[in-house]
Amino acid sequence: MRILVTGGAGFIGSHLCERLLDEGHDVICLDNFFTGNKRNIMHMMENRRFELIRHDVTQPILLEVERIFNLACPASPIHYQYNPVKTTKTSVMGAINMLGLAKRVRARILQASTSEVYGDPQVHPQPESYWGNVNTLGVRSCYDEGKRVAETLMMDYHRQNNVDVKIIRIFNTYGPKMAENDGRVVSNFILQALKGEDITVYGQGEQTRSFCFVSDLVEGMLRMMDRPGFTGPVNLGNPTETTILEFAKKIIALTGSRSRIVYKPLPADDPKQRQPDISLAKEMLGWEPTVAVDEGLRQTIEYFDSVLSAG
């Protein structure tokens, strides 16, 4: 197939492009390189089935494709809060433009939504039926609300125009090719540990997260795209829950670091709990994570170690 991946030079997008090429598809990677990195895709540039287009999804584009993976949007608080208006426009106008394209060429489109649509959840773990507890006025709202509107647009285009849509809600994902400067807990902790710096834990580290390795996520995305008659939304993430403090200690042990743990105040609207209920993914996609956290972290640590060595 001829497949478009928006945000294809990003962390998850580049892994998805690799997998699609491995399966024999023609891949168009579209990215404006606000958070994407050419380093993530350079090794694919020699492949005749790979094409790169520098483009911003807030602007329309005319292409002939059969499937669209819409991943374009800064996904870490540091990046999406840098220009919150642009973040909202990317989610909302990007979805409108990609849905317009899907409608014109009759392509199936998958929207990469997020666990952030659940906000600071009052239901735990979070099933897809939960409507969320989101602050519409906070510093994270540009991302949370942008993604919620994108989901709304997907369903309205589906109901009104019969566009074939798929919605996934991505929970914390990690692995090689994560950006070093994205402020996420995995990259922060690993880099601090490798450099022997203090590891920064917010609050008392009692907030929980669940971490899914990127190859597991990509597998879930492909299964969802290939599943007929199911729009979602569906949670994709690892249901194994851990506290941030436990996670910091695990990374210190795996890196053999002498880093100390230091505590700082919690950021605004930081969710206290985050854990997916993946019952629906198991039922409809036959999917669940297979990469153990320790193994995934070893691969991620090796990647960041090589990045630091390269200078």
Q: What pLDDT sits at residue 269?
A: 67
Coil, helix or strand for 78?
helix
Instruction: Output the pLDDT for position 95.
Output: 98
Tokens coding 88: 């909202």
Q: What average pLDDT does the segment 238-264 reach? A: 95
**Active-site residues: which are they?**
143
Say how far apart CA 22 and CA 24 lie, in whole Å: 5
Mean pLDDT over 59-67 rounds to 97
- Please give the mean pLDDT across all residues of the chain: 95
- Asked if pLDDT for residue 211 goes beyond 70, the answer is yes
Q: What is the pTM of this model?
A: 0.94
The superfamily in CATH containing domain 2-173+214-238+274-290 is NAD(P)-binding Rossmann-like Domain (3.40.50.720)
Where do we find the tokens 């993430």? 237
Q: Per residue in 278-302, pLDDT tens? A: 999 999 999 999 999 999 999 999 9
Q: How far apart are CA 276 and CA 236, in angstroms?
A: 7
pLDDT, tens digit, for every residue of 10-42? 999 999 999 999 999 999 999 999 999 999 999
Q: Do residues 94 and 6 lie in contact, with contact meaning Cβ atoms separated by under 8 Å? A: yes
pLDDT digits (tens, 9 = 90+) for 90-99: 999 999 999 9
Element containing residue 216 per DSSP (H, E): helix 214-226
The residue extents of the domains of the chain are 2-173+214-238+274-290
The per-residue pLDDT for range 130-155, each reduced to its tens digit, is 999 999 999 999 999 999 999 999 99
